[in-house]
Amino acid sequence: MNMGTIKKTVAALAVSTVATVGFSGAAFATKNDHRYQHSAEAIRGATTVVSCDDLWNSFSTAVNDAHKADQAGKTKVRDQALLAADGIVDSAKAAGCGWVAA
């Protein structure tokens, strides 16, 4: 056999093996009975409410972290902290917090 035929045979065998494994995994999947959606963990996660005070505390922490990083000359950390603060402002606007200027 020449080298090209051997490579093609090995490639075909690998593809057929992967296809067989992929199809057999789906055959053994169980039907979703929605247990997670009714679990205490899912309900607790869905009812978590972030207050405006929590958002303010997170915002001030991010700004303070950015200030400290700027003083230390860590521009990448500073920029990440400022992006986090910007995201918190967006969340506070969406929540209707009074400390955010509209």
Domain membership of residue 26 (yes or no) is no
The overall pTM is greater than 0.85: no
Tally the domains of the chain: 1
Q: How many C-beta neighbours within 10 Å does residue 42 have? A: 13
* Residue 14 CB neighbours (<10 A): 10
CB 52 within 8 A of CB 98: yes
Rounded CA-CA distance 17/20 in Å is 5
Q: Is 91 inside any structural domain?
A: yes
Q: What is the pLDDT along the chain (102 residues), one digit of tens a residue?
A: 465 666 566 566 656 655 555 555 556 667 777 777 777 777 666 655 678 899 999 999 999 999 999 999 999 999 999 999 999 999 888 888 888 875
Residue 86 in any domain: the answer is: yes
Residue 19 domain-assigned (yes or no): no
In a domain, 71, yes or no: yes
Task: Please name the amino acid found at residue 99.
Answer: W
Residue 64 belongs to domain spanning: 50-96
Domain assignment present for residue 83? The answer is: yes
